[in-house]
Amino acid sequence: MGKFALDLAHMLAGGLVLVSFMLLYQDRMSGLLRVFALHAVVLSASVAWQAYAQGAPHLYITAAIALVLKAIIIPLALDRMVVRLGVHRSIDAVGGIGPTMLLGIGLVALSMTVMLRAAADADPLAREDLAFALSVVLLGMLMMVTRRNAVSQVVGFMSLENGLILAATGARGMPLVVEISVAFSVLIAFIVIGVFLFRIRERFDTVDVGALDEYRGGNQ
Amino acid sequence: MAIAAVLWGVAAYFALAVLAVATSRAPGASRLIYAGCIAVSLGILGVAAGELLGGPAVPSAITLPVGLPWIGAHFRLDALAAYFLIVVNLGAAGASLYALGYGQHETAPERVLPFYPAFLAGMNLVLVAADAFSFLVAWEFMSLSSWALVVSHHREPENTRAGTIYILMAMFGTLALLLAFGLLSGPTGAYAFDEIRGARHADWLPGLVLMLMLIGAGSKAGLAPLHVWLPLAHPAAPSHVSALMSGVMTKVAIYGFIRIVFDLLGPPAWWWSIPVIGLGAATAVLGVLYATVERDLKRLLAYSTVENVGIIFVGLGLALAFKANGMAGAAALALTAALLHVLNHSFFKSLLFFGSGAVLTATGERDIERLGGLIHPMPQTAFLVLGGCLAISALPPLNGFVSEWLLFQAVLLSPNLPQWGLKLIVPAAGAMLALGAALSAACFVRAFGIAFLGRPRSPQAAAARETDPVSRAAMGLLLAACLAAGILPGFIIDAMAPVVQAQIGAHMPEQSTNAWLSIVPIAESRSSYNGLLVFLFIALSALVAAEAIHRLASRALRRAPAWDCGYPEPSPAAQYTADSFSQPIRRVFGEFAFLAREKVDMPPPGDARPARLHVSTHDLIWDGLYAPLAGAIQFAANRLNVLQFMTIRQYLSLVFVALVALLFIIAIWP
């Protein structure tokens, strides 16, 4: 059981990292949203497995929240939004996909090095989990940095949040209240950002955040 | 308990400030607030005087449960605090009395009234604070409320600039104080003064704290080269506030220096005195040189404050030198001289600022080149200001002479010091003080002569009227205080014996029992001074001379035009001007002190245009120290300005890069 549990947890967490890479090379909005749903499904599976392996039943609730909110509701809502905004075709990436992927590989290597050293005497399950979680967080940030479109920045932010949840479940001991509040905060952030997107669109006829900068003063 | 009474007084000041916010636009509010300030300051004055003269040997202390959690706010009233409370509240009472009259002319009372009691409260709180946190909070409160008073007439661009420079320097000084207290409190956070006093410090620490205090307290007091804000900020405030800032707030800074360097820092090393004496002497000469060539009456007074602060710091430095060498009697003499000068300067500087305020109200002019002849419309003000000028020029029998004379007595003891460095430096500093005293007399002859004598140089000066009786009463009381301190210094010296005893471990011999109220600093055989006899002699001989002239001379009165030296020129421009009066001094010292250059523009024969004399001066400290610093800050700010105008994505990238860089450092950390 012990060896197998570890291996499966590794596989699921590693799968999350892999899906993060998939997010990085999507060049269509609808594809991006589907991959994000997959990201949430893998997260949910990983959390569920942690719940089983650690014997912590409250983590099942976390997994269920992740599945319902992030794998179904949010992608569907974003999809509707993207179609209504008419931006489902293009993704405006900064820098090529190739260099971004290479950078992502570097980030994963960095987080492995850091975490395996920093948590050398921790429980192996938690340690590897944390290393993968940090990779997911960094890849999420990388995505936010390398995308011009507000919707893909939102997706990057949500995948970053997924990484945080992965880290929290691996660390065993995050109380349920905190998890629920994290989940709801993400939902609220999502709503706010959605409203915000429409406001941007109404005003500027685009959701490219670069358009905001033209309306600011200064030496842009 | 005395300390509780003082704190209630501070609370009363705050209540007055709140009341002023509520009523400042109402007619009569200014009278109400200033009368309240007089009452509160006299109350605190009484408590402090009682504590100093007949108080118990144990200082009264109190700890209030406010401020830092688990530490609280400590307040303590010992002899040193009581002495400075007397100085502050005497000045406050005088300024408030003056403001009863002067405040009526205020154009925007709602900008002055609320901050005035708050400023007084801040100064009082600094003096009784007994832990680092309360001290710094009170200090900063004092700075901010005085800043609000400096910019009260903010429509004038000059005042706004003065306020900006003032608040920058005040923040810089507080930063130095913060670091000094941080070093003194150590890693355990022993913030109470009692704990600091009992702690043992590392060898390198006291020297560093001394330097920080010279910056922190020195910038507030006006020690060169940190004095640049003072001649800008003090004149910008209304005149009674100028008097408080110059006469009293600089003294609070000196209190901070004494409290930390003498009281908290432990036994001094002899070399501590060198920077204090050196900076003090340089400040004294520099301040009076600037004052001598200044044309703005209030700025002239502010520069003279710089000079007097230099004199006080020389006294403090001498006290440190003597104390370090175990010469307790000499140290007590030097510290007494410095403390007495603190009191004296607050008297005559307040008096002179009140006089300049009266002139400003009467004429709307601060430039002495546009005044003149004011002795005719304002005879009483002229007499009172003349008294102040005599006192600040250190002429007996007034009080300025006593403290400077005591200081020179301390300077004359310097050959007994064992260190050759001090043996050489102290007489040099004494010579600079003597130069400063002489120049200061020249400076005030010029200020009084140009402003009050001769003929009016502008229509405003010609139309001047005597100022209101309340203002004159305030000036009269201060002049009386100057005279009393000048002829009866023995009582003051005896009263401050516990202050000196606490800092030095010795005090000057008792003076009030000497015959004829003489003061004898060391021994009768060496030197003694009797202000009372000098006063009686001057008064008697003047009376006899006046009587003789009236008896013997012709009584026929003939009024002739002033300055009518053979050719009655109707233009007032033919008189001596302030610039022509200071020209010899500018020629002698200005060449190197301000890089003063004169150029005569003489038209060739046949050309009818007038010849002109151009004088250019530079403020070397401003050009050499502050301008490059301001330039460097401007340059860096311009470079960093890019950060204000980045896209969301670029900001995210900055966060991302910073995170990755930190992780990378962790990864490669050995």
Phi, psi of B553 (to 5 degrees): -85, 165
Low-confidence stretches of chain A (pLDDT beneath 50): 218-220
Model confidence pLDDT, tens digit, residues B53-85: 886 667 888 888 887 777 789 999 999 999 999
Instruction: Give me the pLDDT at residue A65, please.
Output: 80
Three-class DSSP category at B216: helix
> How many CB atoms are closer than 10 A to CB B410?
27
Residues of A in contact with B660 (CB under 8 A): 107, 110, 138
**What six digits make up the tokens of B281?**
């002497």
Whether B281 contacts B429, CB under 8 Å:
yes
The verdict on whether omega for the bond into residue B225 sits within 30 degrees of 0, i.e. cis, is: yes
Optimal mutation site among A100, A114, A209, interface B, most CBs of chain B within 10 A: A114
Under an 8 A CB cutoff, do B649 and A209 touch?
yes
**What six digits make up the tokens of B415?**
């050959």
Whether B216 contacts B228, CB under 8 Å:
no
Alpha helices in B594-647 (DSSP H): 620-621, 627-640
What does each C-alpha distance from B256 to B221, B251, B507, B535 come to in angstroms?
A: 10, 9, 21, 35
Under an 8 A CB cutoff, do A114 and B666 touch?
yes
Instruction: Give me the pLDDT at residue A220, please.
Output: 40
Instruction: Give me the pLDDT at residue B132, please.
Output: 92
Residues of A in contact with B667 (CB under 8 A): 110, 113-114, 117
| ipTM greater than cut 0.90 | no
Query: Which residues 618-647 in chain B show a CB within 8 A of chain A?
Result: 641-642, 644-645, 647
Dump strand ranges (E) for B443-519: none
Tell me how many degrees the CA angle A124-A125-A131 measures, rounded to the nearest 5. 85
Instruction: Give me the pLDDT at residue A42, please.
Output: 93
User: Where along chain B do its domains lie?
Assistant: 1-202+223-253
- Whole-angstrom distance, CA of residue B302 vs CA of residue A99: 66
Under an 8 A CB cutoff, do A212 and B667 touch?
no
Q: Half-sphere exposure of residue A63, counting CA atoms within 13 Å on the CB side?
A: 19
How many helices and strands in chain B, by DSSP H and E?
A: 27, 4
Q: What is the DSSP letter of B456?
A: -
Tell me how many degrees the CA angle A63-A66-A68 measures, rounded to the nearest 5. 105
Instruction: Give me the pLDDT at residue A204, please.
Output: 64
What does each C-alpha distance from A139 to A125, A133, A150, B199, B384 come to in angstroms?
A: 21, 10, 17, 53, 80
Whether B321 contacts B422, CB under 8 Å:
yes
Instruction: Give me the pLDDT at residue B445, please.
Output: 94
Alpha helices in B506-642 (DSSP H): 531-552, 578-593, 620-621, 627-640
Low-confidence stretches of chain B (pLDDT beneath 70): 55-57, 562-570
Range B526-530 contact pairs with CB under 8 angstroms and sequence separation of 24 or more? B526/B409, B527/B409, B529/B396, B529/B402, B529/B405
- Whole-angstrom distance, CA of residue B479 vs CA of residue B490: 18
Instruction: Give me the pLDDT at residue B650, please.
Output: 82
Chain B CB within 8 Å of residue A122 CB? no
Residues of B in contact with A111 (CB under 8 A): 663
Under an 8 A CB cutoff, do A110 and B667 touch?
yes
Pairing of strands B612-616, B73-77: unpaired
CB pairs A-B closer than 8 Å: 47
Beta-carbon contacts of A58 under 8 Å, excluding residues fewer than 6 positions away, are: A51, A176, A179
Alpha helices in B74-131 (DSSP H): 79-102, 109-112, 115-128
Q: What is the DSSP letter of A172?
A: S
Could you tell me the sign of the dihedral formed by the alpha carbons of B633, B634, B640, B643, in that order? positive
Under an 8 A CB cutoff, do A220 and B645 touch?
yes
